[in-house]
Structure 1
Amino acid sequence: MEAFFVSTGIVALAEMGDKTQLLSLVLAARFRKPWPIVLGILVATLVNHALAGALGAWVTTQLGPDVLRWVLGASFIAMAGWMLIPDKLDDEDTKDNPRLGVFVTTVIVFFLAEMGDKTQIATVMLAARYSEYIWVVAGTTLGMMLANAPVVWLGERIVKRVPLKVVHTVSAIVFAALGVLALAGVG
């Protein structure tokens, strides 16, 4: 269960102010249909994080424990630095095709926006760190939903009240601590 709780917390924090959270806000403002948007985010996240988790699990079979420990430690510390760089929504993320419907448009746009995103990379690293691949994917997906579903329903009211600099700093500290623990061989 540690993998589930750590994955949920890390991704929920990492997603605050992330481009996919901003995309959730744009989709909500554009379509004003929260249920298909939230379900689209769920499906896109499950598929994306399942693939990322599978990659992370595969990495553990290819690297020895000492190499894996150093790779994970350095990766978590690099992620800590990346967390301190705020995301901006790219213009291309808003150019979707509404003819596909709200749900399908959300799935496609959100899946593509999540490619190479902080939370996807975090999912790869967490799956490499913990042997419970299913719990990591469940946790990272829940973390994404905890960060994005309220944005879809409550929109700008939440985004304006969340001190993103503090959230990014706390996220960076968590990633740095995980990196140090991995380098020290703890856990």
Structure 2
Amino acid sequence: MSAFFLSLVVIFVAELGDKSQLMAMTFATRFRTWSVLIGITIATAVVHLASVVLGAALGAALPTGPISILAGLAFFGFAAWTLRGDELSEGERSKVDRAGGAAILAVGVAFFLAELGDKTMLATVTLAAENGGVAGLIGVWAGSTIGMVVADALAIVVGRVLGRRLPERVIRIGATASFALFGVLLLVEGIRAV
């Protein structure tokens, strides 16, 4: 359960202010909310399952101490990435605008492609490398998937209700601080294990 809750919180925070949230808000203006959420959930579940498998392979191949140190450093990288911010490019915005017909398929494919190599995918790989064992890996997969879907659902609801963006600066600083905190905790854990 600890892997589940840690993954849920980390990925939820990672998703705040991410371009995926902007995509979710944009899709929600064009399609029904449930279609957008179903597409996001399917794409996220597939990407994060692949991330967990990759993280498990790395976790089995490397000793725990160095993995924790690398994970801590990776989280500092995620903090810097988050502080820099994410925006939809014109190409990504036009893909959202052109998507029609099968809303779930359009949303799912767009999210799948957007998440490949994104910080939430890399954070999931890192968490899976840290939390070995079947129960830990299932916890990471379920927690990371639910964390991302909840964050994107929040963006959809807030975007629809308020009709404007979340205050990006505040979200970005909070998410950056959270990543830095997780980075410090992982570094301390890794140094103790070495």
State the partner residue of 1:164. Answer: 168
For the structure 1 residues 58 and 43, does the alpha-carbon distance in structure 2 shift closer, same or farther, using more than 3 Å as the test?
same
Residues 140 and 175 (structure 1), Cα distance of their counterparts in 2 relative to 1, 3 Å cut: same
What amino acid maps onto 1:118 in structure 2? K
CA drift at 1:111:
0.5
Count of residue pairs brought into register by the alignment: 186
Is 1:9 the counterpart of 2:9? The answer is yes
2:108 match: 107
Q: Give the structure 1 partner of residue 90 of structure 2.
A: 91
Q: 2:44 & 2:178 partners in 1: Cα distance? A: 22
Structure 1 segments unaligned to the other structure (5+ residues) = none
TM-score in terms of structure 1 length: 0.89
3-state SS, counterpart of residue 169 of structure 2: helix
Q: Does 1:27 align with 2:31?
A: no
CA distance in 2, matches of 1:171, 1:151: 15
How high is the TM-score relative to the length of structure 2?
Answer: 0.86
Deviation at 1:170, TM superposition (A): 2.3
Q: Give, as a single letter, the amino acid of the residue that structure 2 aligns with 1:125.
A: T
Aligned partner (choices 165, 180, 187) of residue 183 of structure 1: 187
Hey, what's the Cα distance between the residues in 2 that align with 1:18 and 1:5?
20
Q: How does 1:15-94 map to 2 (within 5 A)?
A: 15-31=15-31, 33-94=32-93
Gaps of 5+ in 2: none
Aligned-residue sequence identity (percent) comes to 37
> Which stretches of structure 1, 4 residues or more, deviate above 6 A after TM superposition?
none
Q: Name the amino acid aligned to 1:21.
A: Q
Q: Contact conserved, 1:48 with 1:120, CA < 8 A, in 2?
A: yes
1:109 aligned partner, one-letter code: A
Secondary structure, counterpart of 1:155 in structure 2: helix
- Whole-angstrom CA distance in 1 between matches of 2:26 and 2:165: 17
